[in-house]
Every structure is written in C-alpha cells, then in structure tokens.
Amino acid sequence: MAPFDFFRKKSGGATENGDTISISSRTDDRFNKNQSYELSQMATEDSYSGSNSGIYSDPYADNVPLTNNHASQSYAYNPWNAQGNQQATSNMPPPGMMPPPAINMSPKNQQTKKRNIPWFTIAVSIIQIIVFVSELIVMSKYTGSIVASKPTFNPMIGPSTYVLIHMGARFTPCMQYISGVTDVKTSNFPCPNSTTIATNVCTLSELCGMGGVSDHPNQWWRFIIPMFLHAGFIHIIANMILQIPLGGSIERDIGTLKFAFVYILSGINGFLLGGNYTPDGIASTGASGALFGIIALSLLDLLLNWSLYEHPKRTLVSHLIEILISFALGLLPGLDNFAHIGGFLMGILLGLCLLRSPLKIRERTGQPIAADNYLKSKTLKDRLRNFGIMFSGRHPVWYMWVIVRLVMLALAACLVFVLIRNFDNGGGHCSWCKYLSCLPINGWCDTGYITTSSS
C-alpha cells in the first residue's frame, strides 16, 4: 500500500499543522467581501460551552450549540456603501447572514489541543504492535523461528499462516459449516507447529484453537480479531506508516468516537466481504479494510470542502492515483482486495453520515438557531424540547442533507446485515467476483480452494 500524502487547506492565517487536512483554523469566504460584520458579546467570557466547547472550529460538526450559560448577544451589522462611509445598524443581521460567533479563549478552549490527542489511533497502533510481538513469540514457541520458511516462505517476513489461523485470522472453515470439510471427523489439517507437509495431522479444532469448533463452526469473532493481526514485518510497517499520520490527523478533526466507529466498522465490513467471496482456504489478517475506510473519509473531506483546498484538482488526482495503486496491489497473491473494497465502501457510507455538511450547504443554510432558545438539559422534557428546537426553523436544504445522512446510515446497516446473512448461508455465489482480488495469470485465481483426499 502506497503511503498517503496530506494536503493543506486554505486558511486565513498560518495553519496549525500545515501537513494535515485540519481545517479548524481556516477562514471561510462565505460572506460578501463588500460587507463587514462586527460581533459584540454582552455576556461574560464563555458564551458557548459544554462538552462541545469550541464547536465552531470543528470542521466536521454541524454548528448546533446545545447549551447557553449566559445572556443573549447583540450583533452589529455594518454594510458599507461604495464610498465605505455609510453604516446601518440593527439588532440582528439579515436572515441567513449571521456570522459565526467569536471563539473565546477560555480555559476550556485552551485545552482543545489536549482533547485533540488521537487517543484511538495511538491505542490501536500499540495494541497491534503488542499483538504482532505475541505472534512472533507463539511462532517461535511452535517452530523455533519467528519467520516462516517451511513448508513455504512467508514473503511478509513473519509467522506461518497456520499460526495466524490459530491466533484468530479470518478462516472460513473455523467460522461456518462447509460440507465435506467441517463435518468429516477424520479430516486432517496442518498443525500450528507445521514445518513440513507431512505434519498435516491436526484436527480442525486444533488448527482453529480458541475453544475448538463443532461440525457447524461459528467463531464469528474472526471478523474482528484479524484487524489486530498482521502477516509479517512488511505488513505491519506498511500499515503503521499510513495509519499513524493519516489516522491521527483525521481523528483530531472528526473526534475519537466517530473515528473509532468508522475504523472498526470498515474493518469488519472488509472481512465480511472477503469472507463471502474469497476461497474458503484463504486466511486473512490486517487493518487494511479499516485503513481504506479512513482513506475514504479523507477523499470525502476533499470533495465536500473542495474550495477550502489550495490545489483541489491536484489533490484529487493524487488521491485517486494512490487509491488505484492500492487496489491494484490488492490483485497480487497474498493480499485480500475484498477487504480493501469492503472497507472503502463502508468508509464512504459512514463518512456521508457522520462528516460535517458540505461547505456549499453550510453556506446556503447559514448559521443555526441561536443558543438562547435552548434550555439547560436537566430533565427529559428539556432534552426533548431542545431536540425539537434543533430541527425547527431550518433551511429546506438542511433537512434534505439530514435525509441523506439517514439513508447512508440505513445503507451501511443493510450492507452489514446482508453480508452476515449471506455468509451464514454459505457465502457469496459469484463466478466472476474472484477477479476483483486476483489476476487470471499463473493460476493466481485458482488458489485457496480446499480439496480433500483419502489416504
């Protein structure tokens, strides 16, 4: 997988992180250049506060202040004429033209940098490294070496496939019933400590481990655990090179909960799609599906905030080239392109659901309802009232985008449901789908199928 570049967005001043996609310090050209706006706050130092303090600088959250700790504000609206010396003043700007409130540098807002530490990216990377070290320890315990060289060499420079299966890789025979394979008690499989073909003397339960399997295996957790497993040094280093900078940058922008949600579901969906359409004998590991979900978020951010990028066309071309190269590499043996495709698709659906509204929509709909209308949410009745206020008096385009979000969320849920149900029914039955993950040369598309022989 090629390393992912980061591109700077436009900003009214110096960007905080010039090599990230953060737009928290940008200045939007959303108002008429011949008009100036002056915001005067009549209350005290922190007009908008709470768990989302500083929400107006969050590039992905729709501006809906949920609490108001102070009195209302007054705004001075100053349209200048051609000579620049006439001024009209009113209590409020015209509808749809209210400028964003100034962000007060209260102690809460000064702690934004601390809150923006990408905790999930850090935690998941540490866990994956620890798990990889555990793989090497188990491999050394079983075979006396940390790198598989017999019966086949692992080009990723790491444990054997059998050890990875034993530790939780996605491996269909450990997860579902396969006629003539899982229901035959006398079937022999390679052992985790196999170093020669002659050591195919283990049962399926011994190979799968984790409590063993019955005639109808159901180790469903193999759709989750493989995100933390890696096939070798090359595999984990390549993923870390992408995950740490790109994942950390996006997590800081959209928040830890949203990022973790997209990361985990994209990874699961990648393994679900692969479980349905890859041959039963192929084991799959890695965070590639999750990372492709994050790449999808990065691409969506560009498309939804096109005018905020300094060179959007150049950035788009670079994104597309790198994505195409990554998908092309997925056609090589040993790489699961279905995980890439499934993760990318889930990232697109969840991104449209969770990312901030497109810039054009935000410009058209203007600022949301003032926080003065909200009550302190002490009771359920107050919370319900605030929820109703949040959806009242909006621009029609705002409601349309809410519908788009709900549709994308429903499609994501349906996709996961259909793939799970399809897998439980024996997986996908598609004769040409295998070519999405392999090239029809040198028999690459004919590998991974389980065959049985009697001795």
Q: How many CB atoms within 10 Å of residue 297?
A: 28
What dihedral angle (degrees, nearest 10) is formed by the CA atoms of 79, 84, 86, 91?
Answer: 30
Query: Measuring CA to CA, which residue among 421, 264, 406 is closest to residue 347?
Result: 264
Range in 235-249, 383-397, 422-436 the model is least confident about? 383-397
Give the Cα separation of 224 and 396 in Å (integer): 40
pLDDT > 70? residue 22: no
Average pLDDT over residues 59-75: 40
pLDDT > 50? residue 261: yes
Q: How many CB atoms within 10 Å of residue 171?
A: 26
Task: Kindly report, residue by residue over 86-97, the tens digit of the pLDDT.
Answer: 444 444 555 444
Q: What does CATH list as the number for 119-446?
A: 1.20.1540.10
Buried b (16+ CB within 10 A) or exposed e, 236-270: bebbbebbebbbbbbbbbbbbebbbbbbbbbbbbb
- Averaged pLDDT of the chain: 76
pLDDT > 90? residue 248: yes
Give the Cα separation of 76 and 42 in Å (integer): 12
For 183-246, the three-class secondary structure string (H helix, E strand, C coil) is CCCCCCECCCCCCCHHHCCECHHHHHCCCCCCCCCCCHHHHCHHHHCCCCHHHHHHHHHHHHHH
Query: Measuring CA to CA, which residue among 5, 430, 416, 47 is closest to residue 245?
Result: 5
Burial class of 73 by CB neighbour count within 10 A (0 to 12, 13 to 18, 19+) = buried
Contact 27, 12 (CB under 8 A): yes
DSSP 15-77: -SSTTS---TT-----S-TTEEEEEE--S-S-SS-STTTTGGG-TTS--------S---EEEE
Contact 428, 258 (CB under 8 A): no
* 110: its two tokens: 């000064």
What amino acid occupies position 256? T
Give the Cα separation of 199 and 104 in Å (integer): 69
pLDDT > 60? residue 263: yes
288 is catalytic: yes
Active-site pick, 49, 266, 288, 357:
288
Average pLDDT over residues 322-348: 90
Q: Grade residue 66 by pLDDT with cuts at 50, 70 and 90.
A: very low
Write the CB contacts of 408 (distance below 8 Å, at least 6 apart in sequence): 349, 350, 352, 353
- Range from 18-27, 142-151, 254-263, 275-284 that averages highest in pLDDT: 254-263
Q: What's the confidence (pLDDT) of residue 105?
A: 39
40 is catalytic: no
What amino acid occupies position 6? F
Q: How many CA atoms lie within 13 A of 64 on its CB side?
A: 16
Active-site pick, 125, 340, 357, 437:
340
Bridge partners (DSSP) listed for residue 75: 39
Bridge partners (DSSP) listed for residue 76: 38
- Expressed in angstroms, the distance from the first to the final Cα of the chain is 42
3-state secondary structure of 345: helix
pLDDT > 50? residue 241: yes
Task: Kindly report, residue by residue over 159-188, the tens digit of the pLDDT.
Answer: 999 999 999 999 999 999 998 888 888 888
